Amino acid sequence: MSATAKLLVTASGARFGTVGGGCLEAEVIERAMDVLERRVPAMSHHSLNNELAGDYGLTCGGTAEIFIEPVYPDETLARAYHEAVALIARGERGVMVTALDWSDGPRKIVTSASLASDADLHARAASLDLFATEPLFSEGHLVEPIVGRPQLVVFGAGHVGARIAEVASIAGWHVTVVDDRADFADPTRMPFADRVVTCEFHDVMASARFDADTYVVIATRGHQHDAVIASQVVPKPLRYVGMLGSRRKAALTAKQLREWHLTEASIAQIHAPVGVSIGADTPEEIAVSVVAEMIAVRRSSSSRRGGLDPVLAANVAGANEMAAPGTITERR
């Protein structure tokens, strides 16, 4: 079961989401009804060994700690949920902190809530890592990252760029595709994209939002365009920058960036060759490898299976060590 799994249970017994199904979920639903009646949160501990799991028809056993909280009309709760929804709608990041002790009424905040005044909850919110994707429970407080869909900007709407956008959309990214050709930057060609933008590659910064939560993949039709785009985006503190191309194309791009006086640190942040080394050949396979690398970056702090598999990570590290900053080795 994922650490981010959630289940909403209404007073009538309707359910939205899941925390694993089976006997575990049945027990949680029963406990949730009690929590709703008492209007105070509770921690629910569930242990299931492999033998019991087999009896219930489940694939494996384990232990689960589940935080259950009531939702009912209340000013504090309404303010926190309103701010959380607003953060997600704006594509911004925040932290929600909920205390287990509600003996004096609900205690829940979102860090950017202007009316929040609970210093203790704010201090606990500050303890969460900036790019955390999983909640933590510590000393009677549930601390949860509020994160909307990660933002991906794909430069280049050709065969590979379009497939990267499509796979990323399926994997949960909010996707913007940018091309300087109107016939390629056509929303009807890419209904899976959230935004399709036509603009000149020498002025791309207005085409999308570029910040510490933004992923960028440069997949244009030529290294001259790649260099122009990279020169504009890599000085920004982006979460991920990947670039398609051969060793020769990457070397030419890196050379051009140096001539334009970009720093080695900026050039070195480019993931090139882009994607996990799986021998990808077709546009669809390349897209899978690129999005897999993006997922590894996104989940790098996850306690579940964050980061690259050690073998694949060694391949990536080895390729990058053999190349100068900003150059790539052929891995497709």
* Three-state helix/strand/coil letters over the chain: CCCCCCEEECCCCCEEECCCCHHHHHHHHHHHHHHHHHCCCEEEEEEECHHHHHHCCCCCCEEEEEEECCCCCCHHHHHHHHHHHHHHHHCCEEEEEEECCCCCCCCEEECCCCCCCCHHHHHHHCCCCCCCCCCEEECCEEEEEEECCCEEEEECCCHHHHHHHHHHHHCCCEEEEEECCCCCCCCCCCCCCCEEEECCCCCCCCCCCCCCCEEEEECCCCHHHHHHHHHHHCCCCCCEEEECCCHHHHHHHHHHHHHCCCCHHHHHCEECCCCCCCCCCCHHHHHHHHHHHHHHHHCCCCCCCCCCCHHHHHHHHHHHHHCCCCCCCCCC
Evaluate if residue 130 carries a pLDDT over 70: no
Q: Domain of 165: which CATH number?
A: 3.40.50.720
Better-scored residue on pLDDT, 292 or 268: 292
Residue 291: Cβ within 10 Å count = 28
Better-scored residue on pLDDT, 157 or 48: 157
Range of 43's domain?
A: 7-68
Number of structural domains (the chain) is 3
Let me know if residue 179 belongs to a domain: yes
Evaluate if residue 331 carries a pLDDT over 70: no
- Same-domain check for residues 277 and 169: yes
**Band (322; pLDDT cuts 50, 70, 90):** very low
- Same-domain check for residues 225 and 279: yes
For 13, counting Cβ atoms within 10 Å of its Cβ (0-12 exposed, 13-18 middle, 19+ buried), the class is: exposed
- Same-domain check for residues 179 and 199: yes
Bond preceding residue 310 cis, omega within 30 of 0: no
- Same-domain check for residues 159 and 281: yes
- Same-domain check for residues 235 and 273: yes
Evaluate if residue 278 carries a pLDDT over 50: yes
Lowest mean pLDDT among 2-11, 21-30, 44-53, 79-88: 44-53
β-strand pairing of 240-243 with 270-271: parallel
- Same-domain check for residues 170 and 270: yes
pLDDT value at residue 112:
60
- Same-domain check for residues 206 and 267: yes
- Same-domain check for residues 81 and 62: no
- Same-domain check for residues 205 and 156: yes
Angle between helices 283-298 and 159-170 (to 10 degrees): 40
Let me know if residue 12 belongs to a domain: yes
Compute CA 269 distance to the chain's CA centroid, rounded to the nearest angstrom: 18
Last residue of one domain, picked from the residues 147, 166, 182: 147
Evaluate if residue 53 carries a pLDDT over 70: no
Let me know if residue 181 belongs to a domain: yes
Average pLDDT over residues 146-150: 84
pLDDT value at residue 114:
40
Evaluate if residue 276 carries a pLDDT over 80: yes
Compute CA 85 distance to the chain's CA centroid, rounded to the nearest angstrom: 17
| Percent share of the chain, pLDDT over 70 | 81
Q: And the tokens for 146? A: 């509020």
